[in-house]
Amino acid sequence: MSAVLWPGVRTRRRIAALAGTPMLLGGCSRGVLDPQGPVGIAEKTLLLNATGIMLCVVVPVMIATICIPWWFRASNTRARYRPTWAYSGKVELTIWSIPAMIILLLGGVTWIACHQLDPARPLASSQKAVEVEVVSLDWKWLFIYPKEGIASVNRIVVPVGVPVHMRLTSATVMNSFFVPQLGGQIYTMSGMVSQLNLMADRAGSYDGLSAQFSGDGFSDMHFRYDAVSRSAFDDWVAAAKAAGPALDARGYAALAKPSAAVAPITYATVDPTLFDRISVGKPIATAAVAPHHMAADHGASNKGY
């Protein structure tokens, strides 16, 4: 009975290995090693190339770490013992030239790829890019479509195979915009506008997240990146315009309140100056409360506060 309840060490190890295999394979899907766009594919290629170049040093060192002690073991009479050995030009040339060449090669590959993958660099395409303005809030993502005049929260919908040009900022603390399968992780900061160009080659729903800790609701700060057909995108835009609240100063004031795990919603209209005012840190007050604040500020200034 005990043999059944408590399998041997080897059996337990095999069970643990088999149980862990799906998790390891699952980590490769829907992640950086499963790219679905040109930026993600280029970043995966750079990652694999850099790993392969570094392994040219790591693997020989690992092998030498085992072979050298084994060869110079006490029982090996063929090993030459040279206690007075101090310097060899050939050895010095070998141990310094090979790493130097590896560093030069790795630096050159990385330098070229980093310039090609500049987030602000437009993607090559015969189609005009879709413009999206991104605002990170506590703890949700706001996506504004300035040309379409709509906005959405925690969901971005774009046509598949069409470049997307994003302008990004933060209304609160620093965050990091990241869609692992499409690449291009970039930070959003208050008072600053970043740029990012992405494109999905295949239709699908991709996971997006904040990769920068930003407080209590950080773990729920996720969004969906839906790449759909052009007709489906046009239908989504039309449906958003037909129903939903307005994202004006009052609507933004309600949205900006800290909240987590917010379900995706759309806004039928958007204040065209909203993103620019957020990006420069201007206070956005509703018409109903703005005079009150102005009067309070004026009175405080008269009292010398």
Q: What is the pLDDT of residue 283?
A: 66
95 and 229 both lie in a single domain: no
Quick one: 102 and 180 in the same domain?
no
Instruction: Report pLDDT digits (tens) over 138-188.
Output: 999 999 999 999 999 999 999 999 999 999 999 999 999 999 999 989 999
1: pLDDT strictly greater than 70: no
- Evaluate whether residue 164 is within a structural domain: yes
* CA-to-CA separations, 135 to 56, 108, 176, 216, in angstroms, rounded: 43, 35, 11, 18
Better pLDDT: 138 or 301: 138
Greater pLDDT, 11 or 295:
11
- Indicate the average pLDDT of the chain: 85
- Which residues, 6+ apart, have CB-to-CB distance to 80 below 8 Å? none
- pLDDT classification of 298: cutoffs 50, 70, 90: very low
Q: What is the 3-state secondary structure (H, E, C) of 159-192?
A: ECCCCEEEEEEECCCCEEEEECCCEEEEEECCCC
Distances from the Cα of 303 to the Cα of 214, 291, 292, 295, 299, angstroms = 37, 18, 17, 12, 6
Q: What is the arrangement of strands in the sheet containing 204-210, beginning at the earlier edge strand?
A: 155-159, 222-228, 204-210, 175-179, 183-188
Q: Are residues 134 and 105 in the same domain?
A: no
Q: Does 300 map to a domain?
A: no
Instruction: Report whether pLDDT(208) > 50.
Output: yes
Pair (254, 192) in one structural domain: yes
Specify the 3-state DSSP secondary structure of 121: coil
Tokens representing 60 are 């020989």
Per-residue pLDDT at 302: 38
* Residue 230 is assigned to a structural domain of this protein: yes
Determine which of 58-72, 87-101, 205-219, 263-277 has the lowest per-residue pLDDT on average.
87-101
Please report, for residues 18, 31, 183, 204, the alpha-carbon distance to residue 25 in angstroms, rounded to integers and kept in the order given. 11, 11, 19, 20
> Is residue 169 domain-resident?
yes
Same-domain pairing of 187 and 228: yes
Asked if residue 110 and residue 135 are part of one domain, the reply reads: no
Q: Is the pLDDT of residue 291 over 60?
A: no
Task: CATH number of the domain at 109, please.
Answer: 1.10.287
pTM: 0.77
pLDDT tens by residue, 66-92: 999 999 998 999 998 888 888 889 889
Which pLDDT value is given to residue 281?
82
Same domain, 97 and 232: no
| 147 or 14, which is more confident | 147
- Ramachandran angles phi, psi of 219, nearest 5°: -65, -20
Q: Are residues 43 and 178 in the same domain?
A: no
Per-residue pLDDT at 287: 43
pLDDT greater than 60 at residue 272:
yes
Distance, CA of 241 to CA of 235 (rounded, Å): 10
CA distance 283 to 290: 10
Host domain of residue 104: 26-76+86-116
Are residues 141 and 260 both part of a single domain?
A: yes
Asked, for residue 146, whether it belongs to a domain, the answer is yes
Q: Which of 217-221, 230-234, 282-286 has the lowest mean pLDDT?
A: 282-286
Domain membership flag for residue 228: yes
Q: What does the pLDDT average to over 124-145? A: 96
| 137 in the same domain as 111 | no
* Residue 96: cis peptide before it, omega within 30 degrees of 0: no
Q: Which CATH number covers residue 213?
A: 2.60.40.420
268 and 191 fall within a common domain: yes
Q: Is the pLDDT of residue 15 over 50?
A: no
Domain count, the chain: 2
Domain match, 206 and 69 both: no
Q: Which of the four pLDDT bands, split at 50, 70 and 90, describes residue 239?
A: very high
Q: Indicate whether 72 belongs to any domain.
A: yes
Task: Tell me if 279 is assigned to some domain.
Answer: yes
DSSP-assigned letter for residue 226: E
